[in-house]
Chains A and B, each alone.
Chain A
Amino acid sequence: DAGVIQSPRHEVTEMGQEVTLRCKPISGHDYLFWYRQTMMRGLELLIYFNNNVPIDDSGMPEDRFSAKMPNASFSTLKIQPSEPRDSAVYFCASSPVDRDSKYEQYFGPGTRLTVT
């Protein structure tokens, strides 16, 4: 299995530009999560999907952030317009349907975003 795939691995953009991060979850996993990691705040859950439907987006910091999951094998996280404080590593993770109360998550390699 290829694992969770994220692209790009690194993104440098100027303030005000639109940024789109992409994720391909592990095949067969029903849950998909987007996280943001910074030194100051650690790992923060932004939004998660179940069967392509957004379930909880309370972690999305502002209206500038949006996420979609058009099908079971693809999700995007978009920031428009981007700001320097959005600089962080963004992770995508997927999880299989919980059968034994395990809730295990499998992470991609992350996208390091730098907004100048």
Chain B
Amino acid sequence: TQLLEQSPQFLSIQEGENLTVYCNSSSVFSSLQWYRQEPGEGPVLLVTVVTGGEVKKLKRLTFQFGDARKDSSLHITAAQPGDTGLYLCAGPPSGTYKYIFGTGTRLKVLA
């Protein structure tokens, strides 16, 4: 079974703190996407990483794809209450188009 395990599952932090969310698999992925989902809405695409070792920045969010394309991380600097939501990594294992979503990390940033 091809799985994307995310950690931590839940995270509650104070405004201004930094945090890192991890997304791990035993399979190689063609690419990985990160999404954020807010209550009552569908997931919204944040970023795509394609190349092993790739690093992308989106304001205070930094995304990294592992060298072997089996894992990824999301780092948030100086978290704000607006960052609250469910963060999901997702992608297709290499050689397939069967899209798999990670187990999710539920982040709550307290003011």
Interface residues of A (CB under 8 A from B): 4, 31, 33, 35, 42-45, 48, 50, 55-56, 91, 93, 100-110
Contacts and interface: CB of A to CB of B under 8 A. Distances in A.
Interface string B50-83: 1000000000000000000000000000000000
A75 B102 CA distance: 25
B99 A103 contact: yes
Interface string B23-53: 0000000110101000011111100101000
Interface of B: 30-31, 33, 35, 40-45, 48, 50, 88, 90-92, 97-104
A44 B100 CA distance: 8
A50 B92 CA distance: 15
Contact of A33 (B31, B45, B91, B99): B99
Interface pairs A-B: 7 shortest CB-CB: A107-B42, A43-B101, A102-B48, A107-B43, A101-B30, A101-B31, A91-B42
17 contacts: A31-B97, A42-B101, A43-B43, A43-B88, A43-B90, A45-B100, A45-B101, A93-B42, A100-B50, A101-B30, A102-B50, A105-B90, A107-B35, A107-B43, A109-B41, A109-B42, A110-B42
A56 B98 contact: yes
A103 B33 contact: yes
